[in-house]
Amino acid sequence: MIILGVESSCDECSLAIVEDGKNILSHQIYSQIELHKPFSGVVPEIASRNHLIKILELFKQTTLGFSLKDIDAIAASTGPGLIGSLVIGTMTAKALSYALNKAFIPVDHIEAHLYTPHLNNDIPFPHIALVCSGGHTLLFLVESFEKKTILGTTIDDAIGEAFDKVAKMLNLGYPGGPIIQKNALNGDENFWKLPHGLADNPKDRYHFSYSGLKTAVYYKLRDLDPPYPIADICASFQKAAVMSLLKKLKNVLQDTKIKTIITVGGVAANIRLRAELDKLIVSGYQIFHTPLALCGDNAAMVAGRAYIDYQNNSYKKKSWDSYARYPLISKGKRL
């Protein structure tokens, strides 16, 4: 089965053609990073307007050499994400679905990320999924493609947000994750002792917080005279951010006794995080990292996940409407 997937939930515009949920036949991604750099973050209006400008061009590039008659279904991520951006991709996919008389498959953006490691692996269930990106920091118990349970979430900033905001404090540019990682390579990660998030009380055993870490960096910077030791600051921050993820993940592993872990999202590309996770292998854990090229938002994961939803017919029960967030998850709120 061949599915055309569309992804436009934030600032990446992407289309892909995937066969049987595994074989990526064609894949295009247009990144808007350069457009958003002057603002040190994503500007929703700029993002949606540029999706509108680029999406038909990407469609032509993605389908070059393919007969549209061979495409069996059209899929799009419908949320969570930026509503203006989501609408561009979703409406384009719906229009193609109507014009080609093909099924339209609405895909949950987070479920698409959770599917990404499955594109090139056969991963056993149940497993624990760590979602870490600019907009989300979540822990899931995944019992099947159809059954997942949110165990923990951030109560304030996502980890990717914290990377971006600390990079802005240091005038390093945007996006913050790759820049901080690069600067941290030659830094002393013990230069500062920074907080590792929420304490392990019963209420917050699986939950994350990055607001305090970000604030700690701000106050420590205020007490320093420039020029700042950028490498040491980046290394110290990166260590604290990553160890916060590991602390909560290990709590889940201890409580569930599950030995299989997947990591997804933009921050899943961080080499410090990957190295820490790989240390768990000697204790009998299986670690499935998302391929580096697919850690960010992409349409291959959308088309891949759509195949699963089509096979089990669950797509017929999903709303076609775009949505900004899960009702259960909001800043300052615990599950």
Q: DSSP readout, 306-333?
A: HHHHHHTTGGGGS--S--SS-TT--TT-
Domain contains 330: no
Query: Residue 31's domain spans which residues?
Result: 2-114+295-317
In a domain, 179, yes or no: yes
Spatial CA neighbour of 155 closest among 198, 113, 219, 218: 198
Mean pLDDT, contiguous 10-residue spans, the chain (335 residues): 98 98 98 96 96 98 96 97 97 97 97 98 98 95 97 95 97 97 97 92 94 96 93 98 97 98 98 98 98 97 98 91 82 68
Q: How many angstroms separate the CA atoms of 248 and 233, rounded? A: 23
Identify whether residues 144 and 259 lie together within a single domain. Answer: yes
pLDDT recorded at residue 332 = 66
Q: Are residues 173 and 282 in the same domain?
A: yes
Number of compact structural domains in the chain: 2
Sign of CA dihedral 142, 282, 265, 233: positive
In a domain, 322, yes or no: no
**Do 137 and 259 reside in the same domain of the chain?**
yes
Query: Is the residue at 331 inside a domain?
Result: no
**Are both 147 and 252 inside the same structural domain?**
yes
* Structural domain contains residue 332: no
- Do 130 and 87 sit in the same domain of this protein? no
**Residues 166 and 280 reside in one and the same domain:** yes
Distance CA 246, CA 98 (A): 45
- Give pLDDT, residue 325: 86
Residue 136 lies in a domain: yes
DSSP lists the bridge partners of residue 139 as 130, 152
DSSP classification of residue 194? -
> Do 171 and 286 lie in a common domain?
yes
Single-letter amino acid code for the residue at 321? D
Contacts of residue 299, Cβ cutoff 8 Å, sequence gap at least 6:
5, 6, 7, 14, 15, 16, 27, 28, 29
Would residue 334 count as lying in a domain?
no
Residues 21 and 50 reside in one and the same domain: yes
Q: What is the pLDDT of residue 331?
A: 67
Residue 60 vs residues 17, 28, 227: alpha-carbon distances, Å: 12, 10, 49
50 and 166 both lie in a single domain: no
Tell me, yes or no, whether 81 and 137 share the same domain.
Answer: no
Together in a domain, 82 and 169: no
Q: Judge whether 333 lies within some domain.
A: no
**Count of residues for the chain?**
335
Evaluate whether 55 touches 49 at the Cβ level (below 8 Å): no
- Strands 23-31 and 12-19, bridge-based pairing: antiparallel
Assign residue 147 the CATH number of its domain.
3.30.420.40
Residue 170 and residue 230 in contact, taking contact as beta carbons nearer than 8 Å: yes
Residues 17 and 100 in one domain: yes
Other C-beta atoms closer than 10 Å to the C-beta of 240 total 22
Q: Supply 187's token pair.
A: 């830094």
Q: Model-level pTM greater than 0.85?
A: yes
Integer Cα distance of 219 and 224 in angstroms: 9
**Nearest-angstrom CA–CA distance, 277 and 270:** 11
